[in-house]
Amino acid sequence: MSGQPDSTVFFRLQNVGKAFAGNRVLDDVNLDIRRGEVLALLGANGAGKSTLVKVLAGSHPHDAGRLCIDGQAVRFTSPQDARRHGIVAVHQQVEQGVVPGLSVAENLLLDELCGASGALLFRPRAALQRAAKIAAGLDLQLPLEAPIEALGIAERQLVILSRALALRPRLLILDEPTASLSTQEAERLFALIDRLRERGVAILYISHRLSDLQRVADRALVLRDGRLVGEFAAPLDLAAAVESMLGAALGEVELQPPARGESVLSLRDWQLEAQSAAFDLDLYEGEVVALTGLLGAGKSEIAEVLFGLRKHHAGSIRLDGRDWLPRTPREAISAGVFFAAEDRARNSRVPGFSVRASMTLPFLRSFTRFGFIDRDAERAKVAEQIEALGIKGPAIKGESMESALELLSGGNQQKVILARWLLGRGRVLILDEPFQGVDVRARRDIGQRIRASATGRATLVICSDPDEALEIADRILVVRDGAVVAELPRQNLQRSEIVAHLTPTIPSRQETARVQKGAVRV
């Protein structure tokens, strides 16, 4: 308990517990959330953070202890009930926060439309004006009349955030709010959080990005195995917090420069769009390269061209010295170019598929003999990847790998998607935001596996967070307006140098891109 006068405490949990099928997920949780405070909640994947959020937001009833608002005991029966008390949550799963088939404007106004008179009083022109006002609250430029499916995952995340803020919450719960955002969008969110704090709004902030917590948190609590095990005041001792979170210290990893081989993938005089600058690019065997940039810079779009999902405007691509341009993902996979998309829920996961089926999906032919799948060979390969990546969860016990992928934590789902593409003999592996929503240990496991398996291929990792790029890459390429504008060698590189290249400025002495014949050469 905080020991502060009750008048400073908006929400209090006393001995709160929650169990599912006899498995206690939350155990004797006590915490205070104060007005005008940003309280960070840390914990590894599976620690119970999402369950705690759902209890606070009315999605799950607690089965032990009590909740108090302004000193009065409450028991929520639904998320709508929690909202009536001023509790608004923005959950990590973006797909759960938007409604397919509705426009961007309609998704922004979803809470109003679901009200008792919302549908009856719906006027399209007034709705667009209201949605535009909500979007302006976060300084967002959104295609309001477009279907929500037309937006990328980061833009959908901003739609959900805008809708939550329009409800004028007393307690705002943010679960991995910057997981899909670049540095610039995250800073915009942090500035908004500062304003909410000044207005007395209580904020519970959950993030695996430790730099976020240093920026916004007044206090941090650590959850492990469903119990609170540590409390830290600002400025946060992140090393101690991580040790409390994991139950052990997480040592430093020194990146070893690769034995760089021949060029695997080459782009020459390449333009993504007609208005984009042309650039050259080489990816080398054995090297891990990070691609970073702001939201809408063109990072994912460049990857989609290489995987046959879209066309580019001009320029050539050579794969292993031969002219090459995939027309479909099937052609890309056949050539050994693999791509794990950013939006795992929409593009990388088949609902109901098991861990085994999810992992081997693109390569079933390699396990097929005379029209029959060799299940023993398939399971053996899956078991190898489970062991190599340390994949854990209710589906991974002994030889069992048949439970649905979605039963695993977010970090372990990411590991399964990575393992999928490591099953094949690829020449180029492209990973779009592979660390999204995973804890520090899972991020370390994934990064080490990416680097350990980099021999024999070129690896391109797309990271919106400069810190993630620094952790994984031998070279960092900055994308702006659909073009690579700078190349930054990893050795002795500082985060501030990456950030300096993200927006147009007068070229600094660290600028490494060279303009030749109208093209940026990197």
Written as one string, the DSSP assignment of 55-107 is HHTTSS--SEEEEEETTEEE--SSHHHHHHTTEEEE-S-GGGSS-TTSBHHHH
Say what the pLDDT of residue 64 is.
92
Matching residue, tokens 């399964």: 416
DSSP state of 397: B
Nearest C-alpha neighbor of 416 from the set 434, 399, 429: 434
Say what the pLDDT of residue 505 is.
57
Hey, what domains does the chain have and what are their CATH numbers?
Answer: 100-165 (no CATH), 263-521 (3.40.50.300)
Residues 6 or more apart whose Cβ sits within 8 Å of residue 294 = 182, 183, 184, 185, 464, 480, 502, 503
Cβ atoms of 442 and 45 closer than 8 Å: yes
Cβ atoms of 217 and 39 closer than 8 Å: yes
Say what the pLDDT of residue 398 is.
44
Each residue's pLDDT tens digit, 299-332:
999 999 999 999 999 999 999 999 999 999 999 9
Instruction: Tell me the CA distances in angstroms from 58 to 20, 85, 242, one per residue in order.
Output: 16, 10, 29
Residue 279 β-bridge partners? 270, 520
List, as one string, the DSSP characters of 152-184. Answer: -HHHHHHHHHHHHHHT--SEEEEESTTTT--HH
Say what the pLDDT of residue 65 is.
93
CA dist., res. 498 & res. 466, Å (int): 7
Cβ–Cβ contacts within 10 Å for residue 430, how many?
27
Bond from prior residue into 124 cis (ω within 30 degrees of 0):
no
User: pLDDT tens, position by position, for the chain (522 residues)?
Assistant: 444 445 789 999 999 999 887 788 899 999 999 999 999 999 887 788 888 999 999 999 999 999 999 999 999 989 889 999 999 988 877 777 788 888 888 888 887 777 655 454 567 788 888 888 888 877 778 888 889 888 887 788 888 888 888 888 999 999 888 877 777 778 888 888 898 899 999 999 998 888 888 889 999 999 998 999 999 998 888 888 888 888 776 666 666 666 778 999 999 999 999 999 999 999 999 999 999 998 788 999 999 999 999 999 999 999 999 999 999 999 999 999 999 988 766 667 788 888 899 999 888 888 888 888 889 999 999 998 888 888 876 645 444 688 888 888 777 888 888 889 988 889 999 999 888 877 788 888 888 889 988 999 999 999 988 888 988 999 999 999 999 999 998 888 888 888 888 877 534 433 443 333 333 333
Say what the pLDDT of residue 252 is.
60
What's the mean per-residue pLDDT of the chain? 84
Q: Give me the sign of the Cα torsion angle 318, 319, 323, 329.
A: negative
DSSP H/E element including 521? strand 519-521
CA dist., res. 280 & res. 268, Å (int): 5
Cβ atoms of 314 and 271 closer than 8 Å: yes
Nearest C-alpha neighbor of 440 from the set 197, 256, 252: 252
The maximal CA–CA distance of the chain, rounded, in angstroms, is 74
Matching residue, tokens 């509790």: 87
Mapped onto helix, strand or coil, the DSSP state of residue 259 is coil
Each residue's pLDDT tens digit, 338-395:
999 887 666 677 888 888 999 998 888 888 888 888 899 999 999 988 888 888 766 4
What does the block give as tokens for 116?
A: 């008792």
Say what the pLDDT of residue 204 is.
95
**Sheet hosting strand 428-432, strand order edge to edge:** 337-340, 428-432, 458-462, 288-292, 475-480, 483-489
